[in-house]
Structure 1
Amino acid sequence: MNIVAGLPRSPRLFVLIMLLTGLVIGAAQAQNSTSNVQQADMARQQSVAQGAWGSNLADEDDDSASSTPAAPTMAGDEEYGEQRILIRKASWAPWSLEADIETLWTDNVALGSQNMEEDTYLRTGFRVGYSNRVVGNLFFNASWDYHTVRHSEYTDLDFDLGRGDIGLMYLLPKLKDTFLVTRYSYYRLSEAGLGTKLYDDHVASVGLQKTWKISRGQQIFAGLYADWSTAPEPWAAGRHEYSLFTGWRLRLTDALSLQLSYRGARYQYRTGERQDWNHVMMANVSYNITDWLRAGVTGSYTINRSSGPAFDYENFIIGAGLTAHFEF
């Protein structure tokens, strides 16, 4: 049925203009939604490539042999055997404050499947956290972090990313250094400088993570997580994530440490039209300049394989930065 042909010329022209205007607006909205999906993918992938998984795992092995030095020889050692000095630890500091700055280079800044473009970018941010025991083996955690990313060349890709977390951790009594984790997270991605919102979501998570202390200053860690997107905006950018990670951490000296890790994940987008397999290999070397300031060099390599070939990509990132960490 031709709704335009039966009208006088002026109304016919008016309807035609309205139809064309609707098509233009619809196309602009679709393009904007696609752009927001790409921006959300970029922001989340950069966070993953920074080693954001397993953040609740302990960095230190304070109860290892290195933290209980041997006592001096005393009379009676032959009878009672080698003794160790017990050191009273400082009072518990539930609050933490962290600020970091990194400069990084990537060979595929837009996560493209073809015509990959390299760029450098500056990543800065801060994190405030609170962690305390509720009762017995149950612990409460809450945090808020905010990061900015500013590119040297592709400034249209600049963004700010805020994230809030609140959750519980339960230490499983029969499995040493094993935690069951439940968490609620809120993400907000915006244009640079607290600009227009590009994407936000509420995410529910459950996970299991464990550390194995192999020897003095050496440990292996691993975990499983399921993250469910509950209210993404725009809807097409939301995705469920099912991931596993594992890694090896070695303290070379009191100040210098090395970490190698891998994360594999399945992404299921809320539209049901896209599913990805994502693999991230990461290496990090860090040096404690003081007890509160750390310098580090990080490299990561990502392989993403999607049900839509346009979303297949590989991405290499390397960078260096400083992190200041305080507890009180």
Structure 2
Amino acid sequence: MALFRNFLRDGLRFVCAAALILASQRTEGQVPSGQTQDRAQLLGGQANPTVPNVTPSGENQGYAVASPNEKDIGEQQILKRMEEYRPFTVSVYSPFFWTSNVALVSSGEEDDFVVAPGVTLLYQPRITKTFYGEIGVVQQFFLYDRFSELNFSSFDAIAGVVYYLPQFHNLSLRARYDYNRLTDIDHFDEFFVNHSIILNADLPFRIGRAQQVFAGVALNLSFYANPDPPRRNDYSFYVGYDVALSHSFSIDAAARVAVRDYYAGDRTDVSEILSLSANYRIRDWLTLSALSSFAWNQSNHSVFDYSVANIGGGVALTLKF
């Protein structure tokens, strides 16, 4: 009972924080282009370089098994984390990119420079040894240099659970509710809201003490959106590779194929995304990264075809307690 009361008490704090952020934003606005979701996912997916770019956020949760996010070498550090599990994460980050196709259009591409500062608050209570809760909020801004009319912000509130199965090759299963709200920057007028359920299975394969390959599937199922036309379900498969070249320096690579089934307009897209990052951890709480991603989108409506390259870097400050 004491553990359950603590879970409710700490979780309530995060719910209140989310409510305060929502209350500060207005609820009117314009209908967005469906491509805005893609821009948020492509650039926001690399927002925090301390986690993999193609998988939902997660980490080694306290038992002696390495996850895709584990960058330390040696069992002593893993055991130390087992003894000092810290469920709260606060991360402030600012990635920046040169993008080759600012509006994700099929013709007449324009390039630009974009900065995407953001903050993440995450609470992951340990319910049992391998079963955890997840409650969090994410606020990120996308600010363009020449095409400032494309500026927007993205807010997410998430709640879910994650279950680790070390007896099945360290398989992890995650179920999460996600509330996403897109607004403009000038007045925070809302132009798109989406409610979805995200289901994910992730399977890592350890190679020695410093390398890891992982594969997984993810379903992002929208059950309500306003306005309805950009609403879609995403079905994706991904693979990745992590290598820790030293205690402080690591390289991550990932590839994802996603099928996007839109509810309106008989539209179906297939997207391929490649990402590569090099991360240097200056301190436990400070990471510098070089970031890149490349994406190709093919649609049964050719007007939505596009390709884009995003190349840049980022800095992240992360505190766990």
Place the TM-score, normalised by the shorter chain, in its bin. Answer: 0.7 to 0.9
Gaps of 5+ in 2: 1-29, 48-52, 60-66
Is residue 277 of structure 1 aligned with residue 270 of structure 2? yes
What residue number does 1:178 align with? 171
Q: Percent identity?
A: 25
The one-letter amino acid of 1:312's match is: D
Which structure's relative contact order is higher, taking Cα pairs within 8 Å and 6+ residues apart?
2
Is residue 226 of structure 1 aligned with residue 219 of structure 2? yes
The answer to whether the Cα contact below 8 Å between 2:104 and 2:307 also exists between their aligned partners in 1 is yes
Instruction: Please point out which of 39, 51, 62 is paired with 1:42.
Output: 39
Is residue 208 of structure 1 aligned with residue 201 of structure 2? yes
The answer to whether the Cα contact below 8 Å between 1:145 and 1:162 also exists between their aligned partners in 2 is yes
**Residue aligned with 1:133, SS:** coil
Q: What pairs with 1:1-328 in structure 2 (closer than 5 Å)?
A: 33=31, 35-48=32-45, 51-57=53-59, 58=67, 59-60=69-70, 66-68=74-76, 89-193=82-186, 195-328=188-321
Aligned residue pairs total 278
What residue number does 1:72 align with? none
TM-score (norm 2): 0.82
What residue number does 1:75 align with? none
With over 3 angstroms needed to count, the CA separation of the structure-2 counterparts of 1:190 and 1:259, relative to structure 1, is: same
Runs of at least 4 residues of structure 1 off by over 4 A?
86-90
Following the alignment from structure 1 to structure 2, what is the Cα–Cα distance between the partners of residues 261 and 292? 24
1:286-315 deviation digits (Å, cap 9, x = unpaired):
001111100000111101000110000000
Following the alignment from structure 1 to structure 2, what is the Cα–Cα distance between the partners of residues 88 and 54? 21
Following the alignment from structure 1 to structure 2, what is the Cα–Cα distance between the partners of residues 53 and 61? 16
With over 3 angstroms needed to count, the CA separation of the structure-2 counterparts of 1:252 and 1:107, relative to structure 1, is: same
**Greater Rg, structure 1 or structure 2?**
1
1:47-101 deviation digits (Å, cap 9, x = unpaired):
3465252422532166x6x2349xxxxxxxxxxxxxxxx8685422110100001
Cα RMSD between the aligned structures? 1.9
Following the alignment from structure 1 to structure 2, what is the Cα–Cα distance between the partners of residues 87 and 115? 54
Shift, 1:276, TM fit: 0.3
Following the alignment from structure 2 to structure 1, what is the Cα–Cα distance between the partners of residues 245 and 122? 28
Shift, 1:257, TM fit: 0.5
The answer to whether the Cα contact below 8 Å between 2:54 and 2:255 also exists between their aligned partners in 1 is no
Shift, 1:193, TM fit: 4.4
Shift, 1:141, TM fit: 1.0
Gaps of 5+ in 1: 1-31, 70-85
1:230-284 deviation digits (Å, cap 9, x = unpaired):
1111100111000111100000111111011101100001115110000100110
Following the alignment from structure 2 to structure 1, what is the Cα–Cα distance between the partners of residues 127 and 234? 29
**Residue aligned with 2:117, SS:** strand
The one-letter amino acid of 1:190's match is: T
Following the alignment from structure 2 to structure 1, what is the Cα–Cα distance between the partners of residues 162 and 170? 12
Following the alignment from structure 1 to structure 2, what is the Cα–Cα distance between the partners of residues 211 and 97? 25
**Residue aligned with 2:125, SS:** strand
